[in-house]
Structure 1
Amino acid sequence: MTDGKAPMTDDDQKTTHFGYQTVPEGEKAGMVHGVFTRVASRYDVMNDLMSMGIHRVWKDAMMDWLAPRPGQRLLDVAGGTGDVAFRFLKRAPGASAVVLDMTEQMLVEGRQRAEAEQMAGSLDWVVGDAMALPFADNSFDVYTISFGIRNVTRVPDALSEAYRVLRPGGRLMVLEFSQLPNPAMQWAYDRYSFNVIPAMGQVVANDRESYQYLVESIRKFPDQETFARMIRAAGFGNVKYRNLSMGVAALHSGWKL
């Protein structure tokens, strides 16, 4: 006899975090997809407001350290509206880029930006999963992911996929919110994050809940040293990180040697 319910999968039995909630692994991707579908139309505006425009400085710092070279092929995962890919292509004549995101609406917003039309010949937009990239081994020179890896259900799987699709000598670079080394500064930053950002999301995007999740997901992400160890465990060498704005965000770099 059966009760008519589908059998539980391994992903349903394992749990992970969605912000401060504990949820079955199999449900997280759909929940994250819902968040970014809801915020897509206001995503760029909210990024500017939440960070007071500093996210642009961080992305420029990412490009400075990355030093894009002509002819390179970039995969920008969780690339959303194209910010990083546009910067990369502007600095690397003859380069090409693929922007991959699990949320089609984010890619739609990216394709509507003026830069997308100017770079259409060297830019592709792909709906896909960071944990199961739809690309062959050794396909890219550079892999970037900005403010996206903390939303992945199984971060080690995403890092392993990054290693797989990079060519030997290829480079991984991750830009993510991180932890401030000073407890008093972290306390002040948390007060801003939890009290101001969700309220701002309600006013600007009419969506407090999604921005509450985004703030919680930042607090759940590993600190700089822990994440660096995760990158090394995926096989990358010469792993280093740089704090940005005293650790509000951090850049992590690794190489497929």
Structure 2
Amino acid sequence: MKVERELSARKFTSYSDKEAFVQGVFSNVAKHYDIMNTILSFHQDAYWRRFAVKQLGLQPGNRLLDVACGTGMLTKEALRQEPTLSVEALDFSPEMLQHGEQRLAKAGLLDRVNLVEGDAMSLPYHKDSFDCAMSAFALRNVPDVMQALKEMKRVVKPGGRVVTLELAKPTAFGFKQLYYLYFEHILPVLGKLSKDNSSYAWLPESLRRYPHQSQVLTMFEEAGYKEATYYELTGGIVAVHVGVVPEEV
């Protein structure tokens, strides 16, 4: 439990400090990221992605941004639902992008996707560049959630949707206790089995530091989104937040 205690006590002194730490985590887990996600989510992750993508309201020919695209699983689901999309898939981890490129190439989708190494805190795109934007399991890991939300809002056209999928904090009695038992005691064992205890110890620690889904909704509203709402899935294990970019006044 030494690693867990060290992470719990760790304070990030700057944007770059947390960014460097998290980048190291994802570089370490890139090779087995997808299979571990499926195991840790009890095979619910595919359903979560399907639900999240549906909230985008995709239309033929839309230009879509996938922020912190990881290994391309969410991008792949978006193209399954709307094959005519053009997707910019951005991540700050070269290792994750490499695995994403392999996945998308195997699926014959690379002609629809441009993979970009970049920072969610400062997206390398002009204002109103996309019809919509999405992100999965990124907000817990960015240095500043509000900045990430504002950046996605900046690059999406008025009327477009921004959808995020993220771990959440269940509140139902009994389920809540089982959830945290799993995260705090069983997950570290799985991390040890994967021989990457420190990276998987970050998962429960990042959730502990992350706001409740109702607070994230408030952040969507404060960032300037209209019609902001969220959906809890699988007993509140994850939450999908949706916001619409308002028309300029």
Q: TM-score, normalised by structure 2?
A: 0.92
* Residue 146 of structure 1, aligned match among 111, 116, 136: 136
Quick one: higher RCO (CA 8 Å, sep 6+), 1 or 2?
Answer: 2
**Corresponding residue of 2:231:** 242
**Corresponding residue of 1:8:** none
Superposed displacement of residue 103, structure 1:
0.5
**Corresponding residue of 1:24:** 13
Q: Say which is worse superposed, 182-191 or 100-109, in terms of deviation.
A: 182-191
Residue 218 of structure 2 aligns with an amino acid whose one-letter code is R
State yes or no: 1:109 paired with 2:129.
no
State yes or no: 1:93 paired with 2:83.
yes
* Residue 80 of structure 1, aligned match among 70, 74, 78: 70
Counterpart contact for 1:20–1:216, Cα < 8 Å: no
Moved over 3 A (4+): 114-117
Counterpart contact for 1:46–1:201, Cα < 8 Å: no
Q: Give the share of equivalent positions with the same residue, in percent.
A: 35
Superposed displacement of residue 170, structure 1:
1.1
**Corresponding residue of 1:256:** 245
* Structure 1: runs of 5 or more not aligned: 1-17
For the residue of structure 1 that corresponds to 2:60, the secondary structure is coil
Residue 93 of structure 1 aligns with an amino acid whose one-letter code is P
Superposed displacement of residue 166, structure 1:
0.5
**Corresponding residue of 1:172:** 162
CA RMSD of superposed structures (Å): 1.4
Residue 125 of structure 2 aligns with an amino acid whose one-letter code is F
State yes or no: 1:136 paired with 2:126.
yes
**Corresponding residue of 2:30:** 40
Superposed displacement of residue 224, structure 1:
1.5
Is the alpha carbon distance of 1:117 and 1:59 closer, same or farther for their aligned partners in structure 2, counting shifts above 3 Å?
A: closer
Superposed displacement of residue 20, structure 1:
5.2
State yes or no: 1:124 paired with 2:114.
yes
State yes or no: 1:67 paired with 2:57.
yes
For the residue of structure 2 that corresponds to 1:118, the secondary structure is coil
Counterpart contact for 1:19–1:220, Cα < 8 Å: no
For the residue of structure 2 that corresponds to 1:222, the secondary structure is coil
Counterpart contact for 1:179–1:248, Cα < 8 Å: yes
Report Cα offsets for 1:183-230 as digits up to 9, x if no partner. Answer: 4321211111111112112213x1011111111101221112110010
Superposed displacement of residue 67, structure 1:
3.4
**Corresponding residue of 1:232:** 221
For the residue of structure 2 that corresponds to 1:187, the secondary structure is helix
Report Cα offsets for 1:58-103 as digits up to 9, x if no partner. Answer: 1111123333221111111111000111111122132111111111
Report Cα offsets for 1:118-157 as digits up to 9, x if no partner. Answer: 1111101111111100011100111111011110001111
Q: Distance in 1 between matches of 2:105 and 2:50?
A: 16
Q: Find the structure with the greater CA-based Rg.
A: 1
Superposed displacement of residue 161, structure 1:
0.5
Q: Distance in 2 between matches of 1:22 and 1:183?
A: 31
State yes or no: 1:214 paired with 2:203.
yes
* Structure 2: runs of 5 or more not aligned: 1-6
Q: Say which is worse superposed, 27-36 or 50-59, in terms of deviation.
A: 50-59
Q: Distance in 2 between matches of 1:186 and 1:20?
A: 24
Q: TM-score, normalised by structure 1?
A: 0.89
Q: Distance in 2 between matches of 1:20 and 1:253?
A: 33
Is the alpha carbon distance of 1:108 and 1:19 closer, same or farther for their aligned partners in structure 2, counting shifts above 3 Å?
A: farther
